[in-house]
């Protein structure tokens, strides 16, 4: 597999399916499992997008451990179950963006890139997660290449036209790839994902479990066009957000600004890494996380303007964020070829 023949498509290109999972481990969900399960099944229903009882969105491949998980998911899905296919698997948690493979396409066929997974720099190592990419590739019926460096899907964002965004904090600043410098990582990203240009932002949001994943900071919405957040008054992430905005403009991108949610606290009063950028672009729908704060409506409206051909659905993302991410983090799209 080479960068000249395979490339990671932009997320807005057509999908055959999307992979996600049912949350099950109470140790990973400090405020309980009921609310995140409901929010994630609301996300699934939005992606399926029933019209007159017929799914018009994309198929959802939903990982569950056993029959009981499947039965509980079906209760929350309602009629949207018709757009869902269940897969039985052993897995640690729901973050398929990072534990699944990254699908790539070229020469009229689908392939996949599989990377080493170390539990987000060794912080969250859970049984089954390292093997999950292989299982997904088998179920999807695709082969591909295994690359011997650590990369999570949430750490990279592409526009499908050769550009890739990532952060220094995640790929250069931690335990993931000791011994690999910026030039070495750029070469590996070009080779594995078929990109020509790698643009590095500095750092992510405070208290981010992922050490600055790009999908909470800046998202391509068209080739060369990036959405990011503008700091709210008193925003705890003002310095980081101001730096992101300046760096994107300096890189020559057209930048579309969305409000920041500002301060969002969990039940224990801890600052959460809340972001509207963690939306998922499905075939017919953009699912946007909201946090019960005044900026929600303005952010959803701003994102809707960026995707005029799709409906925009707001879903409560705060219960999911308790576990470490939001809707984009829990999904991995399988492109249609």
Q: How does pLDDT run across 243-286, given as a tens digit for each residue? A: 999 999 999 999 999 999 999 999 999 999 999 999 999 999 99
Residue 233 has pLDDT above 70, yes or no: yes
Q: Where are the beta strands (DSSP E) in 218-295?
A: 218-222, 225-230, 254-259, 280-281, 285-290
Strand partners, 51: 54
Determine phi and psi for 329, rounding to 5 degrees: -60, -30
Q: Which of 60, 218, 322, 329 is catalytic?
A: 329
Angle between helices 34-48 and 67-77 (to 10 degrees): 60
- Residue 179: burial class (beta carbons within 10 Å; 0-12, 13-18, 19+): exposed
Q: pTM surpassing 0.95?
A: yes
pLDDT of the residue at 3: 45
pLDDT class for 107, splitting at 50, 70, 90? confident
One of 3.50.50.60, 1.10.580.10, 3.30.420.40, 3.75.10.10 is the CATH number of 15-335, namely: 3.75.10.10
Residue 228 annotated in active site: no
pLDDT of the residue at 1: 43
Tell which phi-psi region holds residue 34, choosing left (phi > 0), alpha (psi between -120 and 50) or beta. alpha
């Amino acid at each position: 597999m080479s960068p000249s023949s395979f490339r990671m498509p932009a997320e807005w290109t057509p999908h055959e399916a999307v992979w996600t999972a049912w949350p099950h481990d109470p140790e990973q969900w400090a405020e309980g499992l009921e609310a995140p399960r409901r929010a994630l099944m609301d996300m699934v229903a939005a992606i399926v997008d029933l019209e007159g009882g017929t799914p018009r969105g994309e198929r959802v491949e939903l990982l569950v451990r056993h029959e009981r998980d499947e039965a509980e998911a079906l209760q929350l899905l309602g009629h949207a179950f018709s757009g869902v296919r269940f897969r039985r698997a052993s897995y640690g948690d729901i973050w398929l963006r990072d534990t699944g493979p990254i699908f790539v396409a070229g020469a009229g066929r689908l392939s996949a890139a599989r990377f080493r997974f170390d539990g987000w720099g060794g912080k969250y190592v859970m049984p089954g997660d390292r093997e999950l990419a292989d299982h997904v590739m088998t179920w999807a019926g695709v082969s591909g290449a295994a690359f011997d460096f650590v990369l999570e899907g949430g750490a990279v964002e592409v526009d499908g036209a050769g550009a890739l965004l990532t952060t220094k904090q995640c790929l250069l600043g931690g335990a993931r790839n000791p011994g690999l410098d910026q030039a070495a990582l750029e070469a590996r990203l070009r080779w594995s994902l078929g990109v020509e240009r790698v643009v590095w932002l500095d750092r992510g949001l405070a208290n981010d479990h992922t050490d600055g994943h790009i999908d909470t900071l800046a998202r391509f919405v068209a080739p060369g066009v990036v959405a990011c957040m503008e700091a709210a008054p008193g925003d705890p992430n003002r310095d980081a957000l101001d730096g992101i905005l300046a760096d994107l403009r300096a890189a020559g991108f057209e930048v579309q600004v969305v409000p920041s949610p500002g301060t969002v606290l969990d039940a224990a009063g801890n600052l959460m890494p809340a972001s509207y950028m963690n939306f998922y672009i499905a075939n017919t729908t953009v699912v946007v996380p909201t946090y019960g704060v005044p900026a929600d409506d303005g952010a959803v409206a701003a994102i809707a303007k960026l995707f005029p051909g799709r409906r925009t659905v707001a879903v409560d993302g705060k219960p999911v964020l308790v576990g470490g991410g939001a809707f984009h983090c829990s999904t991995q799209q399988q492109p249609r070829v």
